[in-house]
Structure 1
Amino acid sequence: MTEQGQEARQRMVAGAADMIRRRGLNATSVRELTKHSAAPLGSTYHYFPGGKQELAAEAVRYAGSLVSKVLRRELAAGPVEGLRAFLALWRQTVLGTDFQAGCPVLAVAIEEPPAGDRSAVAAAAEVFADWEALMGAALGERGVAAPDAARLATLVVAAVEGSVALCRAKRDIAPLDAVATQLEAVLSAAVAR
């Protein structure tokens, strides 16, 4: 693939992630995705022969990798610092879009895929598993037993993702703030044991 082709493909993936975080996958057509990313409609099927689900899976992986990159960097300082960074990302997303955008990974995960094509949902599961593994490893490095670290990591991801959905529905950041306070206390206590 040429450099120009790679740039066009990447622009489509980033545009799809943005549209999905705002409207969900089922409410977004391939035509809208290509228009939003300023790409010709035909190029979608050229770069993504599997169509909308393939593009969505790539968009989910792209969004997930951006978050994972921040988590890897911040978790090096400790689980609480990683949690704060994770929360800050979603705070910025929710407030920066006036409650119009959330997590594209969650958006894809909760929508029913077309019969026989679970590629986008599978990508969402991979991303969630990666975030949990990163948090769990950071907790383990601070002495939290593996089973407890895994459970706490799942709690963090589920609580933060759920609070983002609540913030959007209520058009209020309070759910994220409440979850932040509780999760920080839980992780601090786990690491202090």
Structure 2
Amino acid sequence: MTELTPPSRQQLVAGAADMIRRRGLNATSIREIAKHAGTPLGSTYHYFPGGKQQLATEAVRFAGDTVARMLDKKLRAGPVDGLRAFLALWRDILTSTGFQAGCPVLAVSVEEAADDERLAVLAAAAEVFSGWETQLAESLRQHGIEPAEAEQLATLVVAAAEGAVAMCRAQRTTRALDRVAAQLESLLASTVDR
């Protein structure tokens, strides 16, 4: 029997992911997450006895799973369609938030470590990035690309997209992401068509 997630727990995880993608992990407190999620502060400690690090780890996994589900669906049509959807997702996040939000997975990855507990958050981020790479590489392999090349292309896609999102936030324009999208789409299309 599948256990249902209480709405306030899910609200906290989603709220944490949203705050982390906007402010980063170090500038996000448990109190602010509860307020942002519209849940009582006490519920945070009930659902997340491990505190901020536990909540942040789950928020990173939540964000990763959200993107992975979208990728899974879009990659069924092929790697170019998956790429387009992956980049369109980031473009939408950037533009819909006025360049105030990026990727929570990247956000936790680039912040200075505050303590050893943060290692769990970094491990979750590493798993998310690896998962996205694996999904993209598998799609490329299914379309005839050799495994080593498929893995390299998948890493290029994830790294280029994440870097472009960071540039877009700084520059307040989607120019970097649009340029990366054009080059990656051309590269993947020509590789798959060979």
Q: Report the TM-score, using the length of structure 1 for normalisation.
A: 0.96
Instruction: Give, as a single letter, the amino acid of the residue that structure 2 aligns with 1:44.
Output: T
Match of 1:91 in 2: 91
1:159 has 2:164 as partner: no
Output the CA distance in 2 between the equivalents of 1:151 and 1:6. Answer: 40
Match of 1:103 in 2: 103
Equivalenced residues, count: 191
Q: CA deviation at 1:116?
A: 1.3
Show the 5 A alignment for 1:1-193: 6-117=6-117, 118-193=119-194
Output the CA distance in 2 between the equivalents of 1:113 and 1:13. Answer: 21
Instruction: Give, as a single letter, the amino acid of the residue that structure 2 aligns with 1:189.
Output: S
Q: CA deviation at 1:121?
A: 1.0
**Partner SS state of residue 95, structure 1:** helix
Instruction: Give, as a single letter, the amino acid of the residue that structure 2 aligns with 1:87.
Output: L
- Give structure 2 stretches of 5+ with no counterpart: none
Output the CA distance in 1 between the equivalents of 2:105 and 2:40. Answer: 25
Output the CA distance in 2 between the equivalents of 1:95 and 1:149. Answer: 30
Q: CA deviation at 1:13?
A: 0.2
Instruction: Give, as a single letter, the amino acid of the residue that structure 1 aligns with 2:20.
Output: I
Instruction: Give, as a single letter, the amino acid of the residue that structure 2 aligns with 1:93.
Output: I
**Partner SS state of residue 143, structure 1:** coil
1:113·1:121 contact (CA, 8 Å) conserved in 2? no
Q: Report the TM-score, using the length of structure 2 for normalisation.
A: 0.95
Output the CA distance in 1 between the equivalents of 2:146 and 2:39. Answer: 49
**Partner SS state of residue 165, structure 1:** helix
Q: CA deviation at 1:39?
A: 1.5
CA deviation digits over 1:56-78, x for unaligned, max 9?
01011111111111100110111
Q: CA deviation at 1:113?
A: 2.9
Instruction: Give, as a single letter, the amino acid of the residue that structure 2 aligns with 1:162.
Output: G
Instruction: Give, as a single letter, the amino acid of the residue that structure 1 aligns with 2:71.
Output: L
Output the CA distance in 1 between the equivalents of 2:35 and 2:122. Answer: 24
Between the aligned residues of both structures, percent identity stands at: 59
- Give structure 1 stretches of 5+ with no counterpart: none
**What is the CA RMSD across the aligned residues, in angstroms?**
1.2
CA deviation digits over 1:107-152, x for unaligned, max 9?
0111123321111111111111110000000000001000100010
1:109·1:124 contact (CA, 8 Å) conserved in 2? yes
Output the CA distance in 2 between the equivalents of 1:153 and 1:74. Answer: 15
- Runs ≥4 residues deviating over 4 A: none
